[in-house]
Amino acid sequence: MSDPSDADRLKALNERIEAAKHEETAEKHHSDEYYSQAQLAWRMVIELVVGLGIGFGIGYGLDSLLGTGPWLMIIFIFLGLAAGIKSMLRSAREVQEQWRADGAADENGDARGGRGD
């Protein structure tokens, strides 16, 4: 038969295990959030650079074909910049909507305050 002290020790051990699991998942969630934000920043930078690159390529190609000098290249660089900025804003809006949806899910989540993870 087991002593009451063994049952208390077992209960304390289970509580410590649950606390350790909770700390581990909170730490993992924090690091995932950090990398997610870094990935978002790189995505926006890449969208801007790609827009500029495509604008430069189209403008340079048309200038070479038509012999118009740097004018079409300059025009298409500005158009590529505008397209890159528009794409960045679209990505930011998409992420903002996702964060709002996650916030609403957290508010409507279970009694522990989570999403049931």
In order, the DSSP letters of 34-55 are: HHHHHHHHHHHHHHHHHHHHHH
Q: Is 46 within 8 Å of 91 (Cβ atoms)?
A: no
CA dihedral 17, 20, 25, 26 (to 10 degrees): 140
pLDDT over threshold 50, residue 79: yes
Pull the structure tokens for residue 108. 């409507």
Q: What is the mean pLDDT of residues 108-112?
A: 56
Q: Is 84 within 8 Å of 49 (Cβ atoms)?
A: yes
Q: Is the model's pTM score more than 0.95?
A: no
| Model pLDDT for residues 32-64, shown as the tens digit of each residue | 666 677 888 888 899 999 999 999 999 999 999
